[in-house]
């Protein structure tokens, strides 16, 4: 038997049920914490066996399947709108080598999703000063990101709203421009996109809609 393989049976069926329920919670309520969604789904289903809990990759796959089955054109329109907001933010912060990350980039975003950007700067105050100059109110916090298997660091994070969309900024030093933090789902370097890449996604979607 291969190590890490999962046997069919009640446990695997429970994993699928929990993953599907967690995907519904994420899509319909805006809960973006996969672990919290998983635990809430398991509680709702009355499943207490820890071996039956799906991992983040299983929940992510269930979320994409849920969106494929139930999102349809509304999901595509929402994704396009969020990517347009992302382009506006990428232009605004062009001096800080911005990169789009997360659900808006990978296509799993919904109406509750924030536009998440990585900015690169040695002077975080420059970013908050830019927001102040534009008359944009923001909130500050800190975000922990894993850089490799053994290294977790905390970075400044700013959030603000524009036209009903939340923009979430993580401020990273320039030396992380070529070393993307690890994705919490796959433990691989995060997928990140420049303004040109996001504009290409929008153009491709427009061409597909025109056919």
3-class DSSP state for residue 156? strand
56 pLDDT above the threshold of 90: no
Q: How many CA atoms lie within 13 A of 35 on its CB side?
A: 3
Sole residue written with tokens 């509680």: 43
Residue 68 pLDDT class (50, 70, 90 cuts):
confident
- Considering the domain 73-210, what is its CATH architecture? 2-Layer Sandwich (3.30)
pLDDT tens-place string over residues 17-47? 999 999 888 887 767 788 888 999 999 999 9
pLDDT one-digit tens code per residue, 114-136: 999 999 999 999 999 999 999 99
Place of tokens 């923009």: 167
d(CA 117, CA 28): 23
The pTM assigned to this predicted structure is 0.79
Task: Domain ranges for the chain, please list them.
Answer: 10-70, 73-210
Give residue 23's pLDDT: 87
Q: At which residue do the structure tokens 């069926």 appear?
A: 13
CA angle (70 as vertex; 102, 66 as ends), nearest 5: 50
Whose tokens are 């001096």? That residue is 95
């Amino acid at each position: 038997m291969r190590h890490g393989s999962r046997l069919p049976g009640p446990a695997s069926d429970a994993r699928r049920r929990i993953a599907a329920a967690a995907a519904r919670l994420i899509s319909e309520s805006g809960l973006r914490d996969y672990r919290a969604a998983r635990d809430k789904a398991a509680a709702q289903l009355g499943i207490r066996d820890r071996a039956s809990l799906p991992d983040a990759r299983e929940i992510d796959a269930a979320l994409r399947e849920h969106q494929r089955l139930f999102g349809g054109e509304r999901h595509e329109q929402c994704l396009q709108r969020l990517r347009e907001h992302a382009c506006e933010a990428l232009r605004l912060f062009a001096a800080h080598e911005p990169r789009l990350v997360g659900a808006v980039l990978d296509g799993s975003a919904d109406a509750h999703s924030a536009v998440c950007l990585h900015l690169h700067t040695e002077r975080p105050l420059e970013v908050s000063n830019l927001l102040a100059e534009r008359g944009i109110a923001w909130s500050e916090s800190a975000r922990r990101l894993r850089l490799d298997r053994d290294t977790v660091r905390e970075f400044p994070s700013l959030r603000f709203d524009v036209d009903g969309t939340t923009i979430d900024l993580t401020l990273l030093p320039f030396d992380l421009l070529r070393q993307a933090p690890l994705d919490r789902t796959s433990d691989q370097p995060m997928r990140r996109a420049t303004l040109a890449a996001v504009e290409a996604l929008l153009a491709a979607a427009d061409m597909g809609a025109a056919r």
